Amino acid sequence: MKHFEQSVYDLIVETSTNLPADVRRAIKAGAKRESAGTRAALSMATIANNITMAETNVSPICQDTGMPTFIVHTPVGANQIEMKKAIRSAIARTTKDGKLRTNSVDSLTGDNTGDNLGPGTPVIHFEQWERDDIEVKLILKGGGCENKNIQYSLPTELPGLGKAGRDLDGIRKCIMHAVYQAQGQGCSAGFIGVGIGGDRTTGYELAKMQLFRKVDDANEHEDLRKLEEYVLENANKLGIGTMGFGGEVTLLGCKIGVMNRLPASYFVSVAYNCWAFRRQGVLIDAATGEINEWVYERGTALAMSEEQAEAAAAEAAEAQPERREVVLTTPITEEQVRQLRVGDVVILNGRMYTGRDAIHKHLMDHDAPVDLNGAALYHCGPVMLKDEAGWHVKAAGPTTSIREEPYQGDIIKKFGIRAVIGKGGMGPKTLKALQEHGGVYLNAIGGAAQYYAETIKGVEGVDFMEFGIPEAMWHLNVEGFAAIVTMDSHGNSLHADVDKSSFEKLESFKEPVFR
């Protein structure tokens, strides 16, 4: 077992940086279905490009490298204690090498352990099997999509869909609602795993386990296979689209499992995974610890094709010549911001500050360490590495903005911020502040962490390092950072519009389908 730790190291690197072929195939098929020239098609092209960049750079596809969750099958009698030690060591080593973000945070103090080790992290499940080799499977599921998981207790009344009873049709309604409520916030187009039955804990576990199925497999259970096919077809009619921009592709995969329940309970648990669906596995020789085989076809086998991305960008320019592209250099003035409208593409240059959960809370009743007048505030928790030359950005896509909704409006006004950059959009309080103060919300493509890292030309400083790397305020010098105006200073919000139209579509799925 000399090589076991290295094999797990290789598995982690592969999972974080190289999206498997079955996931790539689903994304490629999705990209073809988005109408040429739309925002959604352009986002899909950026996603495809980002997948290739991550593979080439051997760097995280998305900066949120998630909760490392291992499922290990061992021959009878294998030493699980040694394996656990090796897995923990491989986790710490990949974190140090910038393949994982420092993602383990003390829930009460907010302290980041810095090596991804801590109570509850990583998650390791062991099971014995009657084979001679070891199987290690890993999923890296990020926090943004994890926040969109949802559990229903049947019977219930669902907004837009009415009564959901304890039967297949009730389950159908829950799943349709689960996709609707995620909107673009979990970086759609997504993949869902559904667990029917169990208790609150095992139901969610079953849902997550479904994500280990191959994207193109077929459910052996006849009714569930039909339900999977139904959901995949009809969820795409909700019109949420890539990143919630509106469009044809909302869901890329649906896998449903079932287990027994208690007479009193009937749970439907849904695990939502973003397009950055990072899971891989290896079969390992139990004597040497070396990798014999990959469980999922490796991404390298299926190129995402850059020509496709370039063609999509060209088509977009052609199809919508009226779409404006506005180049702005920070600090931004009120006059510049007031000229922007939903749909414009903004290319940002100059200084940008990152700020996410801890900083928003802090700024409510403290001064800012820098002058934020006219500033661009980026909701981002990057992967950073330091060497003799200083800090380097290894991955830097946006985080879900809606978490800052309680604070954002006040902070915009208090400090004079002009542009907020994130993903998934924000709510009415922020929209009002943008209108009153003169500000704009720019939606970056979630998960495109390599794509955005390349626009960052230098790290010019950092504040709040005590909050940990993802939560610190990084001073970044950017060049050509592209994002789309989805909320403007005239009261328009693309997110509110897509939410409303997708809810209307959801209502059309009220009538029973499975009897």
- Point out which residues bind ligand SF4 (CB under 6 A): 62, 64, 66, 142, 144-145, 186-187, 274, 276, 397, 446-447
- Partner interacting with residue 331 (select from ligand SF4, ligand LMR, none; CB below 5-8 Å by kind): none
| Nearest residue to ligand LMR, by Cβ distance, number only | 144
- Partner interacting with residue 276 (select from ligand LMR, ligand SF4, none; CB below 5-8 Å by kind): ligand SF4
SS3 466: helix
By the 8 A CB rule, do 215 and 22 touch? yes
Query: Contacts with ligand LMR in 111-150 (CB under 6 A)?
Result: 142-144
CB 369 to ligand LMR: min, Å: 22
Place of tokens 């995280």: 60
Does 64 help bind ligand LMR (rule: CB under 6 A)? yes
Give the H or E element holding residue 17.
helix 4-17
Half-sphere exposure of residue 368, counting CA atoms within 13 Å on the CB side?
Answer: 22
CB 186 to ligand LMR: min, Å: 7
Which residue lies nearer to ligand LMR by CB, 187 or 268?
A: 187
Which residue lies nearer to ligand LMR by CB, 63 or 493?
A: 63
**Gyration radius (Cα) of the chain, Å:** 23
Q: Return the residue of 50, 116, 269, 399 that touches ligand LMR, per CB under 6 A.
A: 399
- Partner interacting with residue 381 (select from ligand SF4, ligand LMR, none; CB below 5-8 Å by kind): ligand LMR
By the 8 A CB rule, do 182 and 272 touch? yes
Which residue lies nearer to ligand LMR by CB, 50 or 400?
A: 400
Does 65 help bind ligand LMR (rule: CB under 6 A)? no
Distance CA 374, CA 412 (A): 10
How far is it between the farthest Cα atoms of the chain?
Answer: 70
Which residue lies nearer to ligand SF4 by CB, 66 or 253?
A: 66
Residue 169's CB: how many other CB atoms inside 10 A? 17
* Helix pair 168-182, 494-507: axis angle to 10 deg: 170
Half-sphere exposure of residue 42, counting CA atoms within 13 Å on the CB side?
Answer: 22
Which residue lies nearer to ligand LMR by CB, 7 or 399?
A: 399
SS3 255: strand
CB 366 to ligand SF4: min, Å: 27
Does 273 help bind ligand LMR (rule: CB under 6 A)? no
What sections of 393-457 are H helices per DSSP?
Answer: 405-415, 428-433, 449-453
Q: Return the residue of 37, 381, 416, 438 that touches ligand LMR, per CB under 6 A.
A: 381
Q: Return the residue of 63, 74, 219, 408 that touches ligand LMR, per CB under 6 A.
A: 63
Which residue lies nearer to ligand LMR by CB, 15 or 63?
A: 63
What sections of 183-218 are H helices per DSSP?
Answer: 200-210
Nearest to 42 by CA among 287, 424, 313: 313
Does 241 help bind ligand LMR (rule: CB under 6 A)? no
Cα distance from N-terminal residue to C-terminal residue, the chain: 53
> Is beta strand 162-164 parallel, antiparallel or unpaired with respect to 156-158?
antiparallel
Which residue lies nearer to ligand SF4 by CB, 397 or 439?
A: 397
CB 144 to ligand SF4: min, Å: 3
Would you tell me which residues interact with ligand LMR (CB under 6 A)?
63-64, 142-144, 381, 399-400
